[in-house]
Amino acid sequence: MWWFYRKGPSGFSGASTAEEVTAGVDGHLLVAVITGATSGIGLETARVLALRGVRVVMAVRNVSAGLMAKDAIVAKTPDARIDVLELDLSSIASVRRFASEFDSLKLPLNILINNAGVMTRNCTRSCDGLELHFATNHIGHFLLTNLVLENMKSTCRDTGTEGRIVNVTSAGHVMTYPEGIRFETIRDPSGCKSAVRSLNDFIAYGQSKLANILHTNELSRIFKEEGVNISANSVHPGLIATNLFRAFGRTIIAAFFNTVGRIVRRSVEQGAATTCYVAVHPQVKGLSGKYFANCNIASPSSQASDAELAKKLWEFSLQTVS
């Protein structure tokens, strides 16, 4: 486990916590939207950014749980500035409603953290007929990003402050089909079913997280081409002790995470560190299109670095949300 505590060029390691990596950061002039902020690393990210003065908009599927999470944060940080808005990333209509409601708040937007994720079984379809992992983990965030982008652009122009988009991915970027992303199974989830259903569901989850990195890379390319002062980076939080894998019950995948995974998994406080680091730390200014792990730049898989696949995914995503 020596590698877990070894500090990288940033001065932080896998053992660093979100509070440690944001020490000294003053975020009182910043506004951040965080998806999936009611539990796990999303909640810890919201808590720590609010602690540093950032105004946080919690984009949550369950508003009651969001309000409870807000109360828990305010109880520890009385001057925390937090708004709670409903967002179901698996529904294109819900994403559009959220964007409209956020716009009505008349807030600037400096930071967008696409954190929420789902892992389910049986190749479930979304209400729009898409494979649920892809719909929630990628398409919902893709559309959300596009809908708030003009706000981010105007905010960075008006304030001179760099906008930051952080896409939270996972080790799933290496658990993919050989060809990277099977677009035919996204609109026809029955194509990914087999006798080893839980494994295929995990691969479908991996495809959606691979899509997060490809989305990040294409966003970064477009920003550089347009000369926009917004960065887009993806982060791998590590294996966290959260409820993400609860849907798998007693399966071989669940058994792996409860045995082998127990050795390498980290706390929520450590898991949120890389997200918070990339979102607000001064060291990250000017860096875009990067993949971060343990609060340091890392190398994703070759598929995650495929520029042509990123462009293909971008076009497919645009067609899907149109």
Catalytic positions are 205
Residue 226: strand, helix, or coil: helix
Q: Are 40 and 168 in contact (CB under 8 A)?
A: no
**Main-chain phi, psi angles of 58, to 5 degrees:** -85, 115
Centre a 10 Å sphere on the Cβ of residue 195 and count the other Cβ atoms it contains.
Answer: 6
Query: What is the Cα 206 distance to its own chain's centre?
Result: 14
- Please answer whether residues 144 and 115 qualify as being in contact, where contact means their C-beta atoms are separated by less than 8 angstroms: no
269-291 b/e (C-beta count within 10 Å ≥ 16 → b): bbbbbbbbbbbbbeebeeebbbb
Alpha helices in the chain (DSSP H): 2-5, 18-21, 40-51, 63-76, 92-104, 132-134, 140-159, 183-187, 197-226, 252-264, 268-271, 273-280, 307-321
> Per the structure block, which two tokens stand in for 228?
């926009």
